[in-house]
Each structure stands twice: as structure tokens, then as C-alpha cells.
Structure 1
Amino acid sequence: MDGGDDHELLEKHNVNVVGFGEQHIVLSHGFGLDQSVWKYVVPHLVDDFRVILYDNMGAGTTNPDCFDFQRHSTIEAYAFDLITILDTLNITSCIYVGHSFSCLVGAIASIHRPQLFTKFVFMGASPRYLNDVDYNGGFTSEELEQIFSAMRDNYKAWCTGFASLAVGGDFNSWAVQEFSRTMFNMRPDIALCVAQTIFKCDLRSMLGMVTVPCHILHSRKDLAIPFEVSEYLHRHLGGKSVVEIMDTEGHLPQLSSPDIAIPMLLRHIRQNIAS
């Protein structure tokens, strides 16, 4: 890849690199969001880390013409996007902080290139959202189809309701308004494709191949993901892991409860898992 192609790739994902530390840390956002979800986190990191921020393809900040409906129908596509970004930046080792579906993006990337990652910090992670025998993912197949149908029928109205439920706050709260804003920015057909890719995925069989040490953070009450999913991850990941339940509500605690979530997130970024 020549210099022009490098620049085009980084521009396509709105890659930003800030900070002054020698160690790299990647912040990756979840569905319906963009890198702005980390706005309260970044100031605490820039003195000690080189912070890499980027937007997953399909986010409202990316060019919708660059979204490949066939390619991005699997989580693996986002994982290879991540690997390509890191390679383009000549990053050979990083701490990876993932939120929501981006947790599994990092996990899959590590199966292909484990040496790229020294540690994971996952917030609101799930390998499967659909209930199964002896597994509570949070949704029935009927509930997921209702979500997809509502997105098709009236995307803006769906965003308004989903934002409030996911954040766990009043619609007039700043966090709900912010999540609504970033979801509104997504093109509806792209949002539906991404949602179907995420909510229909089942990556449980891959967890044993993930050997990077993992810090798992989870809200005590999260409409999207039951807290027992974090224990499932802890039991099935192939490397060392630790779980901590945050005394927060909602799927975006870094926005809705930054006073609680951010200190805990920073502590796990800086600490290693005890042997």
C-alpha cells in the first residue's frame, strides 16, 4: 500500500492519533456511535499514551458509499479493518479498549494477529445477543425481528425510543440526546445492516481462541446485555480475564455515568490481571 492509499484508508475511518506516551491505546466504539463516545475518556489518557481513535465503517461520520453491504455483514470484516488501520499506522503492539460490538471486533482481530494486542479492556461485551439453551443473551428471536421491523418502518422514531432504553435515562438527558444524534447520523439502510450483523452473530465458539488478557467491565443494569454474559465471557475466553460490575445503568456508562465508569475504566487500563 503506497502513501496515497495509506492516507485514503485513514481518512475513510476518520483516524485520529493524539497524545504523547510511548504506548499505544486504541479506543473502538459500538453500534450507533462514533469515536465521540470517548470524549470524556481521552483527556485522561493523552499524557501517558498515544491514543488511536477511529470510526467503524457504517458510522454516521463515515462515507456511506464506502460501506460494503456484503463484506460488512460479518464481524470479521470490522476486525480486518482494525488490523489494516494498525498496520497502516505501523503499530505492532497496543492496548485495545472496546465498547459493545467492538469488543468482539478486537477479539476476532486477536485470533488472527495476537501479537498486536497486549491487553483488552471490554465494556458491555457480548458474543451472542440471542437467547439459547442455557444461555441468556438478552433477546428472543421475536424481539429482534421487532427491532428490525421498527427500523425499516420508521428509523428516526426507532432511534428515539432505542436511545432512551439503551442509555437507561430520560429522553431529555444529555447522554440519550448524544446517542440519538449519532444514530440519526447513520443512513437507515446501513444501520439496519449493521444491527442485523451484530444481533444475529454468535461468536461463542471463538472465545477459546482469544488468549489476550481481558478486563471485562459491565453495567449492573444493561437493557441490551444481561450482566451474566460477562461471567460467560470470563469462563470461556482462552486467556486470563477479570470481571468487574460497575454500579451504573445502561449500555453507555462512559456517557451516562462518567463519574463512575471512567475512573474504573482508567484503573483497568493501567492495571494488569493478577496471576
Structure 2
Amino acid sequence: MRWYANVKEVGGGDTTVVLAHGYGANQTLWDKLLPALSQHHRVILFDWDFTGGGADEQEAEAARYTFGRFADDLIALMDDKGVRGAVVVGHSMSAMAACIASVRRPDLFAHLVLLCASPRYMDSPSEGYVGGFDRASIDGMLGAMSSDFGAWVKGFVPNAAGGDPSASSALEQSFLSMHPGVALEVARMIFLGDQRGALDAVAAPCTVVQVAADFAAPPAVAEYMRRRMEKAAEVEVVVIDSVGHFPQLVAPQQLLAVLQRVLRRAAGEVVVGAEEEQAGEAAEVVEDDGGIDVTA
């Protein structure tokens, strides 16, 4: 059983870009970026299976969701499409799946773009780690999802979309398309998991892209990731001056500029001058511990 579907390939060129969406989304999340990316590059999109409706089979499989399984399916997808040396953009939970996949099959990955990524969402005060949520907040969120998933979505999505009404509408529809049982199990995997150890083995060049006011993955996490990925060939942190957890929807031009620069570098072009200066300004890490109630 594969946990991906609806594989789509557009554009063409020497560089392949794989776009992996995060929790609650689907491949339409990338629509605002696709025309520009596909103009000069081969772009592969797909849907993780939790985006679907309420199939009984999905519900039965829910408890088996793991980051390692998502990583294996990302590898399988890339093998099926004959991909080698791709730029892989992993949003949210897909970022950590891509990290694990890059360690298991380094030949597939030329560069990782880790978008709104977090290896652990739960704070660990004894280690000085700030993930953005304490255990009580996560338990409250999971409880709210379990008791009334639709109501939780309607409270959660506006914050995730940064208060953008047009983005909220599309995102709410996407969240509500998930089977509530599957959505809850995937959320448990994400918010109770700890993938920090996976960062130690990542060797591929990485660009960690965070949003300045992202309640789910505060920019302090990006700085932690940079310090932890000591084996990576290169780790750059870029913080987009925006709000929410979905810059593809609310800050597409800023995100596109970052991706285009990564793609030029992956193609061997030298990026200098004003672009580097702008990137340096954007890469300032903003300390932000969140503060939004995710249980509503």
C-alpha cells in the first residue's frame, strides 16, 4: 500500500523539483508557485493519502502512520518517476520525511528545502529546547480534534492561514476533506513525535525556510536545526516576513524568490550581489514562541 496518490508532472528541464505538501493540505497548495517553477524545471506533485475522504481502509491503517513510512513512500515515488538529484521541497511534516529519505537514499536528493519544518513540536525545558507547544497544549489540541474535528478545523485554520480570508477558505476545505480518524492519528504522529535525531545524519545541502510569525514552527526551531545538522554540506536559514504556517498561500512571491535562488544554485549558477544581500536580510532568525491557542 502506497501513501501517495494523484502524482502529477508538469514542465520540463534539467532540474527536477519535487513538491511535498504538509498536514491538512494537498497538492493544490502549490498552485501559486507552479506556473513559474514549471517554466524552466520538471516539477512533480502528489497527494499524501490522508488528504482523501473517509475510506474504511484509511481508518484501519491510521495507527500505522510513521515518519519513516512517509520517507519510504517519498523514495518509492521518486524511484517510480526516475528521479535522481532532485530539489525536494518538504512542507511542514513532509520536511522531516524528506530528511529521513535523504539519509536513506542520498542519490535522490541534490538539495532539501525544509519549509516551516520542525523536528519536535513539544518543548523540552530540561534540554533548553523550544518547540512551540507544551504537553498540555498538545493534549488539548488532540482532545479537541477527537471530540469535534470540524469545530477544531474552523478554529485552527484561520491561524494557520495567517488571517488571510481567501487562504483560509481553501485551507479549511482541504482540512475537512481528511477522515477525522486518520487526521487525528497523523496529528499524534506529528505533534507527539521527536525526529531531532534524524537531523544528525542529513548530508544534503539544506535551505530551512521559516515564517517570522509561524505559531506552529517558530523560527527558533530553524536555528536549532541549523546547529544540529552538522553533517550537511550547507545549511542556510531564511525567515520570510509573513504570518502563519502556509507561505505558499499567503506569501507566494517571497517563497518563490527563495526557491528560484536555490534552483539556480543547484544548477551551478553563482548567485551574487543584490540577491545575496536580500537573502541575508531575510535570513535573520526571529525568536518567537508562538502564543496561539491551538486547542480552539
Give TM-score, length-normalised by structure 1.
0.90
Report if the CA contact (8 A) 1:207-1:236 is conserved. yes
Corresponding residue for residue 95 of structure 1 = 87
Task: Specify the SS of the correspondent of 1:186.
Answer: coil
The C-alpha deviation readout for 1:63-83, integer Å capped at 9, x for no partner, is 6635622431x1111101111
Q: Is the 8 A contact 2:2 2:73 kept in 1?
A: no
Q: Distance in 1 between matches of 2:78 and 2:35?
A: 22
Is the contact between residue 55 and residue 179 of structure 2 (CA under 8 Å) also seen in structure 1?
no
- Find the partner of 2:238 among 230, 235, 244: 244
Q: Is the 8 A contact 2:21 2:29 kept in 1?
A: yes
- Residues in 2 aligned to 1:259 and 1:31: alpha-carbon distance in whole angstroms: 22
The whole-number CA distance in structure 2 between the counterparts of 1:154 and 1:216 is 34
Answering whether residue 9 of structure 2 is matched by residue 17 of structure 1, we say: yes
Which residue identity is paired with 1:259? Answer: Q
Which residue does 1:256 correspond to in 2? 250
Alpha carbons of structure 1 residues 62 and 14: separation in structure 2 relative to 1, 3 Å = farther
Aligned to 2:173: 181
* Equivalent AA in structure 2 for residue 261 of structure 1: L
Give the letter for the 1:164 counterpart: P
Checking the alignment, whether the CA contact within 8 Å between 1:99 and 1:122 is kept in structure 2 is yes
Write the distance in 2 (CA, Å) between the matches of 1:86 and 1:198: 23
Q: Retained in 1: the 8 A contact 2:215–2:245?
A: yes
Distance 1:269 1:101 in 2: 22
CA distance in structure 1 between the aligned counterparts of 2:2 and 2:194, rounded to whole angstroms = 29
Distance between the aligned counterparts of 1:169 and 1:269, measured in 2? 30
Q: Does 1:228 align with 2:184?
A: no
Q: Does 1:81 align with 2:73?
A: yes
Cα offsets for 1:185-236 (capped at 9, x unmatched): 0010010011110111111112110000001111111011111100011111
State the alpha-carbon separation in 2 of the partners of residues 63 and 263 from structure 1.
39
Structure 1 gap ranges (5+): 1-7
Deviates more, 1:145-154 or 1:254-263: 254-263
CA drift at 1:165: 1.4
One-letter code aligned to 2:124? D
Find the aligned partners of 2:51 and 2:264 in 1 and give their Cα distance.
Answer: 29
**Equivalent pairs: percent with the same residue?**
35
Given that 1:13 and 1:54 are in contact with CA atoms closer than 8 Å, whether structure 2 keeps it comes out as yes
Please report how far the alpha carbon of residue 178 of structure 1 lies from its aligned counterpart in structure 2 after TM superposition: 1.2
- 1:251 & 1:34 partners in 2: Cα distance? 14
Which is further off, 261-270 or 150-159? Answer: 261-270
Contact 1:60 1:182 in 2 (8 A): no
CA distance, structure 1, for counterparts of residue 265 and residue 257 of structure 2: 12
Give the TM-score normalised by the residue count of structure 2.
0.84
Which runs of structure 2 are paired with 1:16-55 in the superposition (5 Å)? 16-55=8-47
What are the superposed Cα offsets for residues 220-269 of structure 1, whole Å, 9 maximum, x if unpaired?
11011111100011111120100111111111011012233322332233
1:103-133: per-residue Cα shift (whole Å, max 9, x none)? 0010000111111100011110110000003
Does residue 58 of the first structure (1) align with residue 50 of the second (2)?
yes
Given that 1:60 and 1:183 are in contact with CA atoms closer than 8 Å, whether structure 2 keeps it comes out as no
Q: Could you tell me how far 1:92 is from its partner in structure 2?
A: 2.5
| 2:28 match: secondary structure | helix
State the AA in 1 paired with 2:72: F
Q: 1:254 to 1:205 in 2, by over 3 A?
A: same
Give the alignment partner of residue 216 of structure 1, picking from 182, 205, 208: 208
Alpha carbons 1:64, 1:187 under 8 Å: kept: no
Whether the 8 Å contact between 1:55 and 1:62 is mirrored in structure 2 is: no
Residue 114 (structure 1) aligns with: 106
Q: Which residue in the other structure is 1:3 paired with? A: none
> Relative to structure 1, is the Cα distance of residues 52 and 147 closer, same or farther in structure 2, using a 3 angstrom cutoff?
same
For 1:259 and 1:92, the matched residues in 2 are separated by: 27
